[in-house]
Amino acid sequence: MLSIFVGNFLWSNTGFGLLRVIRDLDDYEPRYDPTVIKLSDSLDSEPIEETTSNISIKSQSTSNRHYSAAYFTSAYKAGKLTPTEVITGLLDQISAEKRHSVAFLQIIPENVLAAAEASTARYKSGKPLSLLDGVPVAVKDEADLDGYEKSLGSSIDYTRKNGGTSWCIKKWEDAGAIIIGITNMHELGLGISHPLSTLPRTSAHHYTDTTNNNPVKGTPLNPHNPSYYTGGSSGGSAYAVASGLVPIAHGADGGGSIRIPAAYCGLYGLKPTHGRVSILPTKSLATSNGVMGPLASSMADLELAYRILATPDPSNPTSSLFNPPSSPPSPSSKNNRPKTLGIYNPWFSASSPEVLSACNAALDHYTSSLSYRLIPIHLPHLHSAQLAHALTILSEISSGTPPSLLPSLSAANKILLSVGALTPATDFLLAQKMRALLMSHLAWLWNEYPGMLI
């Protein structure tokens, strides 16, 4: 534990106290739960059938490196491969190569092979469960999976005493997916953010140290370039997909932990709406920030994975309020959808020249080839909002981590959680007022520009 003097100094040095001088917050009530549930277009509409049969997935690999879910299911149906053959070869490959095995914290071969044999039998009888049946997937060490240990990438045992599998992961299992194992992650999913040295403190631009550098469990390296990290905190899952071991993996995100490794590894990642994906009986350490979602090597596989993960959970008071994910719009309706991109120019202009050039080229493509229009937008108090987010997530995680466990953590997380534990209740409430302010502003923007992508 840090001394009170050192802890208070570090807390003050973060700038968290800046929230106290923002008078705009006086007009807002604290909002702790960020869940927003879209109203049905029609009160009489029927819930969408819980099926993935209408997803259009092309039966081909997305590159020489990646096999899609449809590649596997098509090969199984044609009798060219069986799930047992695929999984046996995959387990052999992972165990034979250190660069692969470090991405996994636990694999139980007999469980994996039993699931593959059951899937093989279903295909033999012509009764696969879904488009995910027999497809190898991986699960981050943040979900619960019956029979497996959970450590959140640390040396602490977070395994549920009563067992059980997270609802969203159980939906993958129910669809026939074959879980290869539990993947590595940045310890507790926590890294340290710093202002870029070339920008003034008030500019609100940060880089992150959530790299998936894990001194406790080992560090998977970026499959595209082993001199680089995978990004974190879902780095093991990102490695498993980017290396071509699996087409789909599970991740979790409270501040970029799906989106960062997806960007580092050239993948597709989705942080779903808060409360959309049920994780019961798993307890989140970052209740108002964290969600679980998929990473994939193609948009089609991302959609497939998400639609099954997001099956509403009748025992979850929030998840049960959502409809199942809707069917993709028809081609005719797509032509009538708003095509608006909201651009926060100060964020763009802070990019390095090569990044800015690539982003501008993408925007030129959207406007000239896809008929999007660009709308300059303003995001108020963005630097302070980042502070409010950091204050909130550190407070949440530290409240769920008893001081007796801190000596088991790496030095960086000892400091982070010790500092988070010193947050006064008044400052925590100010951070929730900042959340309310930003959500109100975003609601106004989307009312002005329906369907806008930011």
Q: Please indicate whether residue 319 is annotated as part of the active site.
A: no
3-state secondary structure the chain: CCCHHHHHHHHHHCCHHHHHHCHHHHHCCCCCCCCCCCCCCCCCCCCCCCCCCCCCCCCCCCCCCCCCHHHHHHHHHHCCCCHHHHHHHHHHHHHHCHHHHCCEEECCHHHHHHHHHHHHHHHHCCCCCCCCCCCEEEEECCCCCCCCCCCCCCCCCCCCCCCCCCHHHHHHHHCCCEEEEEECCCHHHCCCEEECCCCCHHHCCEEECCCCCCCCCCCCECCCCCCCECCCCCHHHHHHHHCCCCCEEEEEECCCCCHHHHHHCCCEECCCCCCCCCCCCCCCCCCCCCEEEEEECCHHHHHHHHHHHCCCCCCCCCHHHCCCCCCCCCHHHHCCCCCEEEECHHHHHCCCHHHHHHHHHHHHHHHHHCCCEEEECCCCCHHHHHHHHHHHHHHHHHHCCCHHHHHHCCHHHHHHHHHHCCCCHHHHHHHHHHHHHHHHHHHHHHHHCCCCEC
Annotated catalytic residue within 68, 234, 243, 257: 257
Interior angle at CA 435, CA 430 and CA 436, nearest 5: 95
Annotated catalytic residue within 233, 288, 398, 418: 233
Q: Please indicate whether residue 140 is annotated as part of the active site.
A: yes
Q: Please indicate whether residue 233 is annotated as part of the active site.
A: yes
What separation, in Å, do the N-terminal and C-terminal C-alpha atoms of the chain show? 41
Annotated catalytic residue within 140, 150, 170, 433: 140
- List, by residue number, the catalytic residues: 140, 233, 257
